Structure 1
Amino acid sequence: MVVAGYVDTSSAVDGNFLIKCLESCTQFLKTYCLTMALRQRLYLVLLCITVIGSLFKELLPLPDSYLNNKRNFLNVYFVKVAWAWTFWLLLPFIAITTFYLTRNQKEVLRRLSTLLIGTIIWYVCTRFFMFIENLTGSCYTSEALQDLKEEHENKKACVMGGGVWYGFDISGHSFLLPYCILMIVEETAVVHELKLQKNQYIHIIVSALFVALGILALIWVWMFFCTAIYFHDIYQKLFGTAFGLLAWYGTYQAWYLHPISPGRPPQGSYLKSKQHSYRL
C-alpha cells in the first residue's frame, strides 16, 4: 500500500513471518515427529501407552482433574468428533499431494478411497462395540450396581428410563485415536517425496495442511494417554487399542500393498516406475 510516497510493508512483513513460522513447524515435524523411524515403531508406542497407563490407573489412580472431566475442551470439540477432524484434514492433503506427485486424476480418486474405507471401519467398529455392550450389560437403578431394572434390555432404553447400564464397554477412544494417529503418520509420509519450491502457493497450502495434521496427531496422542490413565478398565482399553491397531495393520500393512486396493501413499519406487519428475 502506498500513501503520499509512503510504502506500507507491514502486511508483507507479517506474511513473511507467518511463512517462516510455517517452515519452522514443518521442518520440526519432519525431523522429530512424523519420521520414517517413528512410522515403524509407533504401534508399539501406542500399545505401551495403553498397557502402562492402564496399570497406572489400576495401581496408582490419580485424583479427579480437568483432564478426566468429559466436558473438557479437547474432549468435547476434538475427541468427540475425532474422525471428522482427521477426515477433513486428510482429504485435501491426500488429493493435492497425490495429484502433484502422479499427475493422475484416477490415482487421486483411488487414494481418496482410503478415507471411505476408514469411515466404514469407524462405523462398523463403533456399532460392534455398542452391540457387545448391550449384549453383556444389565440396567441398574444406580451406579452402586445393586438393584436391577430388568424391564430395560439395552443401554439407550436404560438411560432414558433413568437407570445406569453396566456392560463390557470397549473403549471407543482407545480404538479410534490410535487408528487416526497411525493413518495420519502413514499419509503424511509422502512429504518426504515432495520437492516443493518455496515461492509457490501450493507449497504454503501443503505445508499448512501438514502442520495441522501434525498438531492433530499430537492432540490425539495426548488424549489417548489421558484415556489410558483415567478411563475404562484395562481389558476394555486393550480390546479397543487392538481393534485400532488391527484396522491399521489390515489396511496399510496388508491390503493396501496389493494392486486391487486404495494403495499406499506414492513412494519413491512408485514414482520412478511412472517416470515422474515434477517439482511443485
Structure 2
Amino acid sequence: YFVKVAWAWTFWLLLPFIAVTTYQFAKSKFLYGPTKSILMVLRRLSALLVGTAIWYVCTGLFIYIENLTGMCSTSGKPSEPRRLYATKQECHQDNGIWNGFDISGHCFLLSYCALMIVEEVAVLESLSIDQNSKLRVVINGLFVSLCLLTMIWVFMFLCTAVYFHDFSQKLLGVLIGLSAWYGTYRFWYLKPFSPGLPLPNVPWSSKKYSYSR
C-alpha cells in the first residue's frame, strides 16, 4: 500500500523543497523582488501538477489495457452459464482471477518519482545559504527526507523487479517512467513555456557546487 501512494509521498515532500529553494535562489542569486520570486516559485511548482497529470493518465491507461486484454477465470459449476466480465473489479467481486496484461505501475511510478527527486535536489549544487541560517536547517531536513524516500523507492523497485509481474510488464513500466522523465526534464522543461528546470535552469552537469553540507 505504501508504494500505491508513492506519488503522494513524493509530491508532499517536493512541494516545500521546491518552494523554499526556488524562492531563496531567485531572491539571493537573481536578486528578484518578492513578487517575481513568488511567480518563479509558482512556475516551478507547476512541475508537480505535470507529474500528477502523468501519474493519473498513465495509471488510468494501465488499468484500461489490463481490462481490455484480460479474461476472468472463476471456479463456478460447469452447469452454470459462463458470465462475461468487462473489468478486473467485476471478476474479483465473484472471487475470480483476472488474467490480463498488467503493466507494472510500481515500476513506472517508482522510477519516475526517483528520477524526479534527483532532478529537483540538484538545485543544491548552485544554492548558497549561510551556515547558521534556520532556513538551511529546513532545507537540510527536506533534503535528507527526500534522500531517504529515494532509497525506499529504489528498494521497493528492486522488490517489485524480483517478486512481481513478468519481465515484459516490468520493462514496459520502466520504459514509460523513463519516457515521462526524459520528455519533461530533458525536453519540455528546456522550453520557455514550461515549468522550467530547477534554478538556475542549466543542465545538472554544468552546475557549480556551492552548497556545502
TM-score normalised by length of structure 1: 0.65
In the alignment, the residues of structure 1 paired with residue 23 and residue 69 of structure 2 have an alpha-carbon distance, to the nearest angstrom, of 47
SS of 1:79 mapped into structure 2: coil
How far off is 1:149 after superposition? 4.9
Q: Computing the radius of gyration over CA atoms, which structure comes out larger, 1 or 2?
A: 1
Q: Does 1:85 align with 2:18?
A: no
- The answer to whether the 8 Å contact 1:141/1:149 transfers is no
Would you tell me which structure has more helix in proportion to its own residues?
1
Give the counterpart of 2:140 among 207, 213, 236. Answer: 207
Number of aligned residue pairs: 190
Letter paired with 1:209: L
Moved over 4 A (4+): none
1:166 to 99, 105, 116: 99
Mapped to 1, the partners of 2:82 and 2:16 lie a distance apart of 49
Decide whether the 8 Å contact of 2:74 with 2:94 is kept in 1. Answer: no
> Which string of whole-angstrom CA distances, capped at 9 and with x for unpartnered residues, describes residues 223-266 of structure 1?
10111111100000011001100000000000000010000000
CA RMSD of aligned residues (A): 1.7
Residue 197 of structure 1 and its aligned partner are, at CA, apart by 1.2
Partner of 2:73 in structure 1? 140
Q: Deviations over 1:94-146 (max 9, x none)?
A: 0000001013111100000000000000000000000000000001015xxxx
CA distance in 1, matches of 2:160, 2:86: 28
Could you tell me how far 1:214 is from its partner in structure 2? 0.5
Q: Distance in 2 between matches of 1:228 and 1:86?
A: 21
> How many Å apart are 1:80 and its aligned residue?
2.1
Q: Which residue of 1 aligns with 2:43?
A: 110
Q: 2:56 aligns with which of 102, 123, 127?
A: 123
Cα distance change, pair 175–149 in 1 and its aligned pair in 2 (3 A) = farther
Paired residues for 1:91-102 under 5 Å: 91-102=15-26
Identity rate, percent:
58
Residue equivalent to 1:153:
86
2:66/2:100 contact within 8 Å kept? yes
Matches within 5 A, 1:7-18: none
Q: TM-score, with normalisation over the residues of structure 2?
A: 0.86
Unaligned runs of 5+ in 1: 1-75, 143-147, 271-280
Question: Does residue 237 in structure 1 map to residue 170 in structure 2?
Answer: yes
Q: Which runs of 5+ in 2 are unaligned?
A: 28-36, 76-80, 204-213
Q: Encode CA deviations 1:65-103: one digit per residue, 9 max, x unaligned.
A: xxxxxxxxxxx3x31210000000000000000001013
Asked whether 1:198 is paired with 2:122, we answer no
